[in-house]
Amino acid sequence: MRRSAILGVLGLLGSLALVATPATAAPSAVAVHNPLLKQTLAEEEEPDPDDPAQSALCQSFLGQPNPYPATAPNVDQIVGDTVVPVGSQAGCSAAQNETTIAVNTRNPYNIVGGANDYRLFNARENRNDSSSFAYTSFNGGRTWSNIMIPGLTITSGGTGAFHWFDGSGDPVVAFGPGNTVYFASLLFSRSTPLGGQEASAIVVNTSHDGGLHWGPPRVVAMDGVNPDGTPTVTHIFNDKPWMAADPSSGRVYVSWTRFTYDSKDNYVESPIMVSASVDFGTHFAAPVRIPPSLDGFSGGITPFDQGSNPQVGNDGQLYVAYEASVCATAACDSAGDRDATVVATSTDHGRTFRHAIVDTNYDFPATLTGENFRLNSYPQLAYDRLNGKLTVVWSDDRNGLYDPATGASVRTNGDNVVSSSGNGKTWSRPLVIGTPQDEFFSAVAARDGKVAITSYTRHYDPNGINLDYAYWSASGTRSLSRAATQRITTVSENPQVQFLSVNPDGTEVQGVFIGDYSAVAIGADLRIHPSWTDFRGNPGVNTPNQDAYTQSIALRH
């Protein structure tokens, strides 16, 4: 989510770009793999210049009919959107992207989602900035209420330290027992008046009525701002929270990435952290780091990590999937060094962890072929309470085409990669689920022996640019290898509708941000609820823009 605070990583990671040969690609193909380098190169998440001469694609539709047909059975979750008043998106409906969704464990008709939501205007910045909104349904996803998560930033009524924050995002939702819902957010400022990194925080708001009303934010981690709201120097930036709740107690876990710098703001490490609450998110314990430290490092999993995703098992065990760099030395400059999908397991409620490397993670180049938005290969994890099986999924470019001489990407071919485990220690040989075209930002849900994978795909566009959202489902992870690609979106859409950037020569680059992940949840009725960033807006109501969309789908297996 963060804007530009980790640009200092470039100095280190310029020498840490990990080069590996994908086993499934041509023998001479090479690709660059490093989650931190990738994240750094594309971290300018809000590159919407105020220069009125710059024009986002969404402005070209103003005054014209929306060219997309009616969207049913796809459902737009956005209600009461606003129009952007200034900048390159002036006149366009505000964007919503980077979606999350969860289903009440006891009531499949109660669903809560969320997204980066840009409908609020920040007078301090003179532009719309990201905020946290919950999208709540009590009729299985047919209609939605939109509720602002309170007290997080200057635009959402934040006081004290919260008044210093300009925006919030990286949303994630989880249901606890009864009607308890947790909403985690990343908070960030847009300035560093005293130097160092921008102020950042990981916080959780809780609802006890299924997502209609929300309590105040509770701090999990906060750096760069004093309690009275004045800035202070920090060399830490907290990023990318995720969350898992125990369905039978008030225990909830939040994991995130802690980017750490030295006094000169040179990148040092970015370990995955976790903090637990045992009282329904009212208080959070001191954070614990999940990966090993660099002290005495002798090879293996490094604290150069990103993209964590936790789950809680029936026996209370905590599992956390994340993308790590696995290196022979702390310099990460050996030929065999690589990125990997890792799952850490804790049997003592998040105090200590053991680690299992699932597979090499072949990541993506800077963008998909012909696209402009940033990418990642962060994993998502699901836990089936019927059989105790874990399923991890991520998207990577192991089947992409690379120049054998330079290692440059010639043509991307992203796929969903899936593996399963009964204990978190040993993992099945990964399956590649996808099409000859790109799949990315995969998500997973599992229940009662059913597994569903969702992701964006370019399979349905003969020109290879427009996007759809799709799913694959089966009874058991291994059966996914025979699962057909099921299209969810009713029409392919142009993702380059909002968020432009400007090259040094002044040329515009359209569509540089669509979010960093998508989502899917499954209810007790075995209906899945995918949630994705859609680019049609709401035909008949407004013109094309980024909206959070979903659909209720009965699994066929």
Domain boundaries, the chain: 5-554
Side-chain-side CA neighbours of 206 within 13 Å: the count stands at: 19
Please determine, for residue 29, whether its predicted confidence score (pLDDT) is greater than 50. Answer: no
CA distance 133 to 146: 6
At residue 557, the pLDDT reads 59
Tokens of 236: 């830490």
Q: Which amino acid is at 161?
A: A
Rounded mean pLDDT of 373-394? Answer: 97
Check if the beta carbon of residue 424 is closer than 8 Å to that of residue 390.
yes
Predicted confidence (pLDDT) per residue in 408-458, tens digit = 999 999 999 999 999 999 999 999 999 999 999 999 999 999 999 999 999
Check if the beta carbon of residue 36 is closer than 8 Å to that of residue 339.
no
In angstroms, the Cα distances linking 531 to 30, 141, 396 are 33, 11, 20
At residue 31, the pLDDT reads 33
pLDDT, greater one: 481 or 200: 200
User: Environment class of residue 425 by beta-carbon count within 10 Å: exposed (0-12), middle (13-18) or buried (19+)?
Assistant: exposed
Angle at 320 between CA 319 and CA 322, to 5 degrees: 150
Mean pLDDT rounded to a whole number for the chain: 91
At residue 463, the pLDDT reads 87
At residue 54, the pLDDT reads 87
Please determine, for residue 11, whether its predicted confidence score (pLDDT) is greater than 60. Answer: no
Name the least confident of 11-15, 49-53, 123-127, 165-169: 11-15
Please determine, for residue 40, whether its predicted confidence score (pLDDT) is greater than 90. Answer: no
Percent of the chain with pLDDT strictly greater than 70: 90
Percent of the chain with pLDDT strictly greater than 90: 88
Predicted confidence (pLDDT) per residue in 521-547, tens digit = 999 999 999 999 999 999 999 999 999
Please determine, for residue 52, whether its predicted confidence score (pLDDT) is greater than 80. Answer: no
69 preceded by a cis bond (ω within 30 of 0): no
CATH class of 5-554: mainly beta
At residue 539, the pLDDT reads 97
At residue 478, the pLDDT reads 87
Predicted confidence (pLDDT) per residue in 155-204, tens digit = 999 999 999 999 999 999 999 999 999 999 999 999 999 999 999 999 99
Query: Phi first, then psi: what are they for 170, rounded to 5°?
Result: 50, 50
pLDDT band at 506; cut points 50, 70, 90: confident
User: Environment class of residue 195 by beta-carbon count within 10 Å: exposed (0-12), middle (13-18) or buried (19+)?
Assistant: exposed
Rounded mean pLDDT of 329-356? Answer: 96
CA distance 518 to 439: 12
Which residues are CB-contacts of 461 (< 8 A; sequence separation ≥ 6)?
Answer: 437, 467, 468, 492
pTM of the model as a whole: 0.92
